[in-house]
Structure 1
Amino acid sequence: MNYLVSITKLFTGLALLALISSCSSTRKSSGKVDGPPPSLSKPVAAPKTEEKKVAAKAPFNVPAFGKEVKKATYNIAFFTPLYLDSVFATTTDIPGRNMPKYVLPGLEFYEGAQLALDSLQQQGYQLKVTVYDSKAKQSITSLIRSKALDGTDLIIGAISNPELKELSDFAKEKEINLVSGTFPNDAGINDNPFLYIANSTLKAHCEALQHYVQNAFSNKNIVLFHRNTPFEIKLAGDFKASYDKLESNKKSRIREVVWNDATTPEEISKYLLTDRTNAVIITALDEAGAKTLLRKLSVSSTTYPLQIFGMPTWDLFKLKEPEFKDLQIYYSSPYFNDKTDAYSKYINDYFRRIYKVRPSDMAYKGFDLTYYFVKLLHNNGVYFNSKVDDAQKVITSYDFQPVYLKEDTSTPSYFENKNIYIIQKGDSADIKMNK
């Protein structure tokens, strides 16, 4: 079946959302979706609504985290960019082949989350889930003003700025945990301990790459290549700061190189050594810039042993050019899915059976994050924050750690996923190198 026609089937359910409301829809379990294997998720009974007093010492110095608030039914607000007002601006008919591609990531994130919610509700979870189009004409500000989000127990979303900042301010005021699922940025937020950033910031990636290259090779020459732009200078600063913070007797100093399009392979080779591994770190996020430097490095690859480390955006790069064939290239990612686990197989089978297409990574992420945090909510109550480390892995592994951006404070600025995978680019499949 044609891909666009198949996606149109995926969009059918959302047409009903457009008819009901341009901004939200309350979902209940359909009772028609088979859940993952029972051996992975045993049915559970819904707890009675209860609230216990604040603990003597609240975790992370946040009073709300010391409370135990469990409910018979949990209210969840789910945000994703569906662009319903644009797609159905003049009609409620399915757009078919003319459906814009920009709706697909948010749509599949929603569809993955829907599968997770259906599976959990079939296990006995009592949930009231309201889905909001984060790109609707009705702004988040107006939703907050209308008190539509009051009474929410958890917010999950594929959201970026300015929506993330608006929701964060609201979540902090109302003491509601907010999960930012896909945006690799803190949006300037530095004072919300109720915020969880699943798609790690670039600073976290710099720390992870620094730790990996310093410990993976006993004898190495670390060279950091960046261009003379404010953004890449900042990234280079993050690398150097992570070097200063790293406590290791094996660490080697970083050689910093500022390059541009006119930089020659001969100039680059001056920073490389023949008798040890050259761990080359490249701060370019754009494919054109990264490939420009890789071509220059490829000239030296037969003389100098190279291990090249790029940014998280490199997971989407197609490095099929002949000059890249013999280069060992790696990138960092907060998410890895080899699609061999039971949940991934379930999602894949469902999409192939119902829509005749393969699910994208956004579908897997929507399922994974929703299942992970809703289960935390159900098992531990509204303030599950001190139990995040005990949560069971669903598809990928998370390591949410408190981040302190302000000096002399014991309250986190937010929580961030610090589990960063180092992945090698492969011809047919990428290979996880750590953990």
Structure 2
Amino acid sequence: MRSVAVQPKKNEAGKPSVKTPVEKAANPAAPKVSNIALLLPFGLDHLRPGSPYTSVTLKEADIALDYYRGFKLALDSLTGQGYNFKLQVFDSKGEKSQAHSLALNPAVRSSDLIVGPVFPDDIKTFTSTYPNSSQPVVSPLSAASPAGIKNQQLVTMMPPLEYHAWGAAKYVNDRIKPKKIFILKSGYSEENDYLIPFKKATDSLSKKHVQLVYLTVIHGQLNSLIPQLSANSENVFIIPATDQHFLNVTLRALDTLSRSYQLAVFGHPSWVNLSFLKADLLQRLNTHVTVTDHIDYKSANAVTFIKDYRGEYNAEPTTYAFKGFDEGLYWGQLLGSGEVKNLAGKDFEGLHNNFHFQKKPGLGWVNTHISIYKYSNFELKKVE
């Protein structure tokens, strides 16, 4: 365990005014100390001889370090405003057995806020063991559905896939208003994790007035859809696939169709990280993606954060450092105001993502904020 105490900087708030009577002024009350337990997979056991880091455990440790640095930098910035924190950092090791032990650790249990563990299995083990049924437990980095954990006190920071599907469905329904939506499938069953909530959202938003046309595409053959395409309005295609070969072939086939028809393509959110997808092709296809972790590196706040991070750690911040900073700032402010248990209306605009929480029965609080981006001028531009 590593313990870091973050103290507020001195200010002039305690100085008596010139009009204060001669008697000695009472010292102002010290700001409330908020205790935070940070449970991250540093895997420090791998520093011992005979048990070196593997490529997987080293990556996990890098993520933990970057997130911790961003989180602590946020708390440091808040101390200058009079906040007071005690940050205790625990090594979760990325192991369920360690998550179980940490759930019973008195130092963790007495914290005002618990952030972590990181991985879904570890979070499930931790929450099933943790005896406090009223203490928030933050899942900081996983977008796994809280339905697999089922804990009323869980706070899921990264919107799960189903909210991407709802976000896309709402944008299509509100902005494009098609009569038909074409669903192009590769045949892998995991695509249903996106398609089932997309259908549910579309049926709800359109009152079942929009027809969903499904096609399992083989070798890029889309000819069977041509009789159903509109010649006068945008034809919406939903593609929940991530397979490289399937996407390369299918998108080329759509590129051919785009010469004769107006298209609007909506892809899986992981498309933003697939290097084999070419921006020029995606732009020609009028491609949209749902995004929760897009950073505008040109914004003034991002530039300031990068400068401060470099100055503090002599390193470049990764996306995990940005996430740590956003979440540290969000929770630090809520701890200072004593509002960590009710997140309704506690929206937040961060460098990495925005937070808009909804309480889901039996699942806890879930960040449901999704942005829509499209490819324009060979880069992603926010449209909603």
| TM-score, normalization by structure 1 | 0.73
SS in 1 for 2:232: coil
**Residue 431 of structure 1, CA deviation:** 0.9
The letter of the residue matching 1:81 is P
Judge conservation of contact 1:309–1:329 (CA < 8 Å) in 2.
Answer: yes
- Structure 2 partner of 1:197: 156
- Of 166, 181, 186, the match for 1:207: 166
The letter of the residue matching 1:433 is V
Deviation track 1:4-46 (CA, whole Å, cap 9, x = no partner) reads xxxxxxxxxxxxxxxxxxxx211123889xxxxxxxxxxxx99
1:28–1:355 distance in 2 versus 1, CA, 3 Å? closer
1:143–1:218 distance in 2 versus 1, CA, 3 Å? closer
Q: How does 1:407-422 map to 2 (within 5 A)?
A: 412-422=362-372
**Residue 349 of structure 1, CA deviation:** 0.7
Greater mean deviation of Cα atoms: 317-326 or 123-132: 317-326
- Structure 1 partner of 2:101: 142
- Structure 2 partner of 1:20: none
The letter of the residue matching 1:416 is V
SS in 2 for 1:378: helix
- Structure 1 partner of 2:38: 78
1:373–1:200 distance in 2 versus 1, CA, 3 Å? same
The question of 1:107 aligning with 2:65 is answered yes
The letter of the residue matching 1:419 is H
Judge conservation of contact 2:67–2:324 (CA < 8 Å) in 1.
Answer: yes
The question of 1:333 aligning with 2:291 is answered yes
Whole-Å separation in 2 of the counterparts to 1:29 and 1:118: 7
The question of 1:360 aligning with 2:318 is answered yes
- Of 223, 228, 231, the match for 1:266: 223
- Of 108, 116, 119, the match for 2:74: 116
**Residue 274 of structure 1, CA deviation:** 1.9
Whole-Å separation in 2 of the counterparts to 1:140 and 1:158: 7
Judge conservation of contact 1:343–1:394 (CA < 8 Å) in 2.
Answer: no
Whole-Å separation in 2 of the counterparts to 1:232 and 1:126: 46
Judge conservation of contact 1:222–1:278 (CA < 8 Å) in 2.
Answer: yes
**Residue 347 of structure 1, CA deviation:** 1.8
Whole-Å separation in 2 of the counterparts to 1:80 and 1:343: 26
**Residue 181 of structure 1, CA deviation:** 1.9
Judge conservation of contact 2:373–2:381 (CA < 8 Å) in 1.
Answer: yes
Whole-Å separation in 2 of the counterparts to 1:170 and 1:368: 28
- Of 326, 330, 344, the match for 1:372: 330
SS in 1 for 2:106: coil
- Of 285, 288, 291, the match for 2:248: 291
Judge conservation of contact 1:311–1:332 (CA < 8 Å) in 2.
Answer: yes
Greater mean deviation of Cα atoms: 372-381 or 100-109: 100-109
**Residue 252 of structure 1, CA deviation:** 4.6
**Residue 307 of structure 1, CA deviation:** 0.9
The letter of the residue matching 1:365 is K
SS in 1 for 2:132: helix
The letter of the residue matching 1:379 is S
Whole-Å separation in 1 of the counterparts to 2:365 and 2:229: 38
The question of 1:126 aligning with 2:95 is answered no
Judge conservation of contact 1:164–1:187 (CA < 8 Å) in 2.
Answer: no
- Structure 1 partner of 2:382: 432
- Structure 2 partner of 1:345: 303
Whole-Å separation in 2 of the counterparts to 1:119 and 1:307: 43
SS in 1 for 2:358: strand
- Of 383, 386, 399, the match for 2:342: 386
**Residue 325 of structure 1, CA deviation:** 5.2
- Structure 1 partner of 2:144: 185
Deviation track 1:323-363 (CA, whole Å, cap 9, x = no partner) reads 54522211112234324555422221123445565422211
**Residue 228 of structure 1, CA deviation:** 2.9
- Structure 2 partner of 1:9: none
Deviation track 1:107-166 (CA, whole Å, cap 9, x = no partner) reads 211111111121122322221111122226671112223434221211123612211112
SS in 2 for 1:430: strand
1:255–1:174 distance in 2 versus 1, CA, 3 Å? closer
Judge conservation of contact 1:26–1:129 (CA < 8 Å) in 2.
Answer: yes
Judge conservation of contact 2:38–2:114 (CA < 8 Å) in 1.
Answer: yes
Greater mean deviation of Cα atoms: 100-109 or 310-319: 100-109
Please list every run of 5 or more consecutive structure 2 residues that lacks an aligned counterpart in the other structure.
10-26
- Aligned CA RMSD, in angstroms, stands at 3.3
SS in 2 for 1:299: helix
Greater mean deviation of Cα atoms: 305-314 or 258-267: 258-267
Whole-Å separation in 2 of the counterparts to 1:281 and 1:104: 35
Whole-Å separation in 1 of the counterparts to 2:158 and 2:129: 21
SS in 1 for 2:141: coil
Whole-Å separation in 1 of the counterparts to 2:197 and 2:266: 15
Calculate percent identity across the aligned residue pairs.
24
The letter of the residue matching 1:228 is G
Judge conservation of contact 1:221–1:276 (CA < 8 Å) in 2.
Answer: no
| TM-score, normalization by structure 2 | 0.82
Deviation track 1:20-77 (CA, whole Å, cap 9, x = no partner) reads xxxx211123889xxxxxxxxxxxx9988xxxxxxxxxxxxxxxxxxxxxx9222111
**Residue 189 of structure 1, CA deviation:** 4.1
The question of 1:315 aligning with 2:272 is answered yes
- Structure 1 partner of 2:24: none
Judge conservation of contact 1:286–1:313 (CA < 8 Å) in 2.
Answer: no
Judge conservation of contact 2:6–2:86 (CA < 8 Å) in 1.
Answer: no
- Structure 1 partner of 2:5: 28
Whole-Å separation in 2 of the counterparts to 1:185 and 1:239: 17
Whole-Å separation in 2 of the counterparts to 1:305 and 1:231: 29
1:124–1:25 distance in 2 versus 1, CA, 3 Å? same
- Structure 2 partner of 1:240: 199
